[in-house]
């Protein structure tokens, strides 16, 4: 998959890579106020990140509401809560998600979330 990069000053949005997962998990745990290593389906499927000066400061992810509906969400580092990162990340993520999941088959999204959670919970992250 081709990585798309858009920059605004020192801010960049791009697709998630495997190398990003450690930072994403840590940001998720900080936002959840837990250091519990076990992830659940609420972690979702991360697919886009926001970087500021080459540091991940936010990410977007998809979760399933039910078998036919999904929700796009973001987790942003609290240091950047007054910065428009959230709105820009959501806009970029909506477009990316529509392109990647254009067939509307969210069964595959559920399977993808389950596989990712299982892999992360059983790896040495």
* pLDDT at position 2: 42
Judge whether 113 and 41 are in contact, CB under 8 Å. yes
E-strand spans in 1-125? 6-8, 11-15, 45-52, 55-66, 69-76
Tell me, rounded to whole angstroms, the distance of Cα 97 from its chain centroid.
11
72 forms bridges with which residues in the sheet? 62
Q: What is the pLDDT of residue 105?
A: 59
Q: Contact at 8 Å (CB) between 86 and 58?
A: yes
pLDDT at residue 19, rounded to an integer: 94
Just give the CATH number of 6-121. Answer: 3.40.630.30
Distances (CA, A) of 108 to 67, 101, 111, 121: 10, 9, 5, 20
Q: Look at residue 74 in the predicted model and tell me its pLDDT.
A: 92
Closest CA to 44 of 124, 121, 117, 99: 117
Say what the pLDDT of residue 95 is: 84
Mean pLDDT per block of 10 residues along the chain (125 residues) reads 48 92 91 76 91 93 81 89 83 83 68 91 78
């Amino acid at each position: 998959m081709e990585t798309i990069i858009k920059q605004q000053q020192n801010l960049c949005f791009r697709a998630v890579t495997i190398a990003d997962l450690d930072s994403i998990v840590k940001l998720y745990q900080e936002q959840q106020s837990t250091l519990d290593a076990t992830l659940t389906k609420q972690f979702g499927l991360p697919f886009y990140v926001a970087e500021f000066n080459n540091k991940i400061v936010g990410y977007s992810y998809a979760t399933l509401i039910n078998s036919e509906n999904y929700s796009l969400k973001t987790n942003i580092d609290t240091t950047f809560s007054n910065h428009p990162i959230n709105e820009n990340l959501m806009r970029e993520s909506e477009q990316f998600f529509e392109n990647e999941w254009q067939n509307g088959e969210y069964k595959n999204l559920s399977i993808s979330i389950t596989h990712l959670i299982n892999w992360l919970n059983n790896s040495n992250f």
